[in-house]
Structures are given as C-alpha cells and as structure tokens.
Structure 1
Amino acid sequence: MPAKSNSLKSLSDLKQVQRSLAEQREREAAAAAERAAAQKKRLADQDLFSRAIGATQPLRRKASVPLAPEPPAPIPVQQQLDDQRVLRESLSDEFDVSTLLDADDAMSFRRPGIHTDVTRKLRAGEWSIQRQLDLHGMRSDEAREALGAFIRDAWKQGVRCVRVVHGKGHGSPGKQPVLKAKVQRWLIQKNETLAFVQAKPAEGGGGALVVLLAPARR
C-alpha cells in the first residue's frame, strides 16, 4: 500500500507541473498577441500620419564655415620704436645755440627756411596755444625728460602750438633763470620744434616760451 500511495503522489505532482507549464504558455501567448497588436497599431498610426502629410524630403544642412579665432591685437611697432627713440634721445646741455637764436630782446628761434613772419605771428598771439607744460620746481634732469615727452606727445597728436613755462629764476641760486637757457637748448635739439618766442607778458613773459611744432606726419 505505501508504494501505491507514493506512485499516486508522483502522478499528482506531474499533473501539477504540466498545468503550470500550460498556464505559463498561455500567459506567454497572450503577451505575444498583445505585443503584436500594439505593433500593428503603431504601424497603422505611422501609415496614417504619412498619408496625411504626403511625401517629404529631408532638410538640407547648410555648409558650416569654421570660424577662425579672433586674431590678436596688432603690436604697435611704430609706437614702440618712437618710444624707444625718445628714451634714447639725449638732449645736451652743452649744445651751442648762440648762432641759432635771433639776436633780439626775446631771443627767439626759427629753423632755417622758416620765414620771419612765423615768429612775428607767434609773438602777436596769432597761434592759439593748445597745451602747456610747467617746469617749475623740477630738477634739470626731470625737466629735460618732461619736456622731451611733452613735445613728442603733442606733436604725435597733431598739436601745433604749446607754451613751456620755465620760470624767471627768482627761486634759483643767484636769482638766475637756470632752466631758461637749458629749455632753449633742448627745444632747438627737438626736430619737432619749428620756432619759439618769449611769451607775452600776460602769458608768462620772460618765464615762458611759446613753441610752434611741425605738422605731424599722417
């Protein structure tokens, strides 16, 4: 009897396994049928959309042009050369101006080829003074450097007429105008200087010079 009972139990387990397999196959078949129906519906929707919009063509892509990187700012070579020339420039205190200055009360100067009318008009104030440099209180070396930079910058910017105040020397040893003669020497050595005259009394008189600069190169 026990052997028969075991056989029935094994047969019962086998049938249970078979039922489980059959149920799993049914579920898989149902899932496959559902997926197939969903795919069929998607294809039908796509076909309907295609018929609705008609024939299409892909958009042409415009040829892209690679943009070159922005070039670096140009190096101001000429300006650097000019600045270096200014630094190298040496205005001598020993330069002899006695043969270049007009022998008048104001000791005016004009370069060879410059007509006397130029200095006359400078004295008369017919040139408008556009800039001024005051050298009061400066040592000789400081004044020389300041004057060189001032004249060069004014000339580069197209300024034609400037006033240079050197003082009357009241505060100098012996009450002598130390800078006056030096400023005259320095200005004559500057190629930008065409002429200069002593300023009118109302504009500094013997303590200042009115300087006419050459036209700047363009």
Structure 2
Amino acid sequence: MGDKDKEDESELFLAAIGPVRKLPEKPLPPATPRPRPRARMAEVDEANAREAFRLGLDDAALEAEDALAWRSDALPVGVYKRLRRGEIAAQEELDLHGADARTAETLVRAFLADAQRHGVGCVRIIHGKGRSSPGSDVGSRGAPVLKNLVDRMLRQRASVLGFHSAPRAQGGTGAVLVLIAPFNRR
C-alpha cells in the first residue's frame, strides 16, 4: 500500500467522522465549592446588640427579690397573664447556676435559638437570685449578675414574645418563664 492510498484513507476517515476538537492535555481541576450563604445583616445586628448590651449596664439593676417581667406588643395581654400566673408549662429548662456571665450569655443564646428552631413555645431559665455566690453571681453594686444579664438578653431577642418570673413553686424570682415566637422559615 502506497503513501497515496494512506492519505486517501485518512481523508475518507476524517470526512466520515466529521469535525473534531482537540482534548485538553491535562484534565481541569475541580471547581472549588461555593461558600454557604451567610446572613450578614443578622450577624451585624447581633454584634450591635451585644455591644449595646455590654454598654447598657444601667443604674436600675434588679435586686434578688425583684420579678423579671416584659411583654412585647405582639403578645396578647390574656396570654401574658396566663404566663405570669404559671398556667403555661415550660417545655424545656436551662439552669445557669454556677455559670459565669460570659458562659451564661452563650448558653442563653444557644438555648433560645434551639428552642425556637424546634418549635418549643415556653421555656424556663433558672438564673438564681444571686445571694449565695458573692464572688461570681453578684456584681459590685450587690445586684445579681445573672438575673440582670438574663433580663437584658431576653428584652433584646426578637424571638422572645414575653417573660415573667416563675411562680414560687417553679423557682420564684430565681427563674423566669419565657414565651418564644414560632420559627419563621422564609
């Protein structure tokens, strides 16, 4: 077979298969996965709230026997009265005894977020009265640190509809019942 016959066969083969493209010499590396989306504005709001919270140590601190109480406009008065009387049962409980302020803040944030995510409507947070541990639970002015911390945190959380100190049988002024808004999936 001659060179002319090989050229004819090559041309005939190329005509039969059609146009071709050259393959890359090395395979392309896999694309890096895109980062998960973040709620940046929510992170900024949270950081601003933390800063305002730390600066908001006002002179009107609660004392050991003072009741914690707050209601958002979204919570009907009748439901709030039931909460205040202890007629709404807590589904979950967080005990902050022995925690320092920084740990308590982290625990409360995680607890409330988890409760809302799982559809828990009412929780109890036991903060204590601040009388038994003067070194860690009572501030320089004699005010209970954890009690005041919980009060300020709950007032700043959008997920909290209202709260009130628990009835005497459920911890009295050393615990607080909190109503949580349902989780809103957008």
SS at match of 2:94: strand
Query: Does residue 162 of structure 2 align to residue 178 of structure 1?
Result: no
Aligned match of 2:113: 152
Contact 1:170 1:176 in 2 (8 A): no
SS at match of 2:73: coil
Gaps of 5+ in 2: 1-33, 61-65
Looking at secondary structure, tell me which structure has more helix per residue. Answer: 1
Q: Name the CA distance, whole Å, in 1 between partners of 2:86 and 2:173.
A: 15
SS at match of 2:116: helix
What does residue range 201-212 of structure 1 map to in structure 2 within 5 Å? 201-212=168-179
Q: Name the CA distance, whole Å, in 1 between partners of 2:35 and 2:68.
A: 39
What does residue range 75-86 of structure 1 map to in structure 2 within 5 Å? 77=36, 81=39, 85=43
C-alpha change, 1:146 and 1:180, in structure 2 (3 Å) is same
The range that moved more, 170-179 or 106-115, is 170-179
In the alignment, residue 101 of structure 2 is paired with which amino acid?
Answer: S
Q: Per-residue displacement from partner, 1:116-145 (whole Å, max 9, x unpaired)?
A: 222211022232211001111111000001
> TM-score w.r.t. structure 1 length?
0.54
Contact 1:172 1:178 in 2 (8 A): no
C-alpha change, 1:76 and 1:154, in structure 2 (3 Å) is farther
Q: Name the CA distance, whole Å, in 2 between partners of 1:148 and 1:181.
A: 15
Which of 80, 83, 98 aligns to 1:119? It is: 80
What does residue range 39-54 of structure 1 map to in structure 2 within 5 Å? none
Aligned match of 1:16: none
For residue 85 of structure 1, report the CA deviation from its aligned partner.
Answer: 3.8
In the alignment, residue 152 of structure 1 is paired with which amino acid?
Answer: A
Q: Name the CA distance, whole Å, in 1 between partners of 2:79 and 2:58.
A: 19
SS at match of 1:93: helix
> TM-score w.r.t. structure 2 length?
0.63
Gaps of 5+ in 1: 1-74, 100-104
Largest Rg, 1 or 2: 1
SS at match of 2:54: coil
In the alignment, residue 122 of structure 2 is paired with which amino acid?
Answer: C
Q: Name the CA distance, whole Å, in 2 between partners of 1:157 and 1:141.
A: 25
Aligned match of 1:190: 157
C-alpha change, 1:77 and 1:172, in structure 2 (3 Å) is same
Aligned match of 1:129: 90
In the alignment, residue 114 of structure 2 is paired with which amino acid?
Answer: D
What is the count of residue pairs matched by the alignment? 138
Percent identical: 39
Q: Name the CA distance, whole Å, in 2 between partners of 1:76 and 1:150.
A: 27
Contact 1:132 1:165 in 2 (8 A): yes
For residue 96 of structure 1, report the CA deviation from its aligned partner.
Answer: 7.1
The range that moved more, 109-118 or 89-98, is 89-98
Q: Name the CA distance, whole Å, in 2 between partners of 1:147 and 1:134.
A: 10
For residue 97 of structure 1, report the CA deviation from its aligned partner.
Answer: 8.4
Aligned match of 1:19: none
Bigger relative CO (Cα 8 Å, ≥ 6 apart): 2
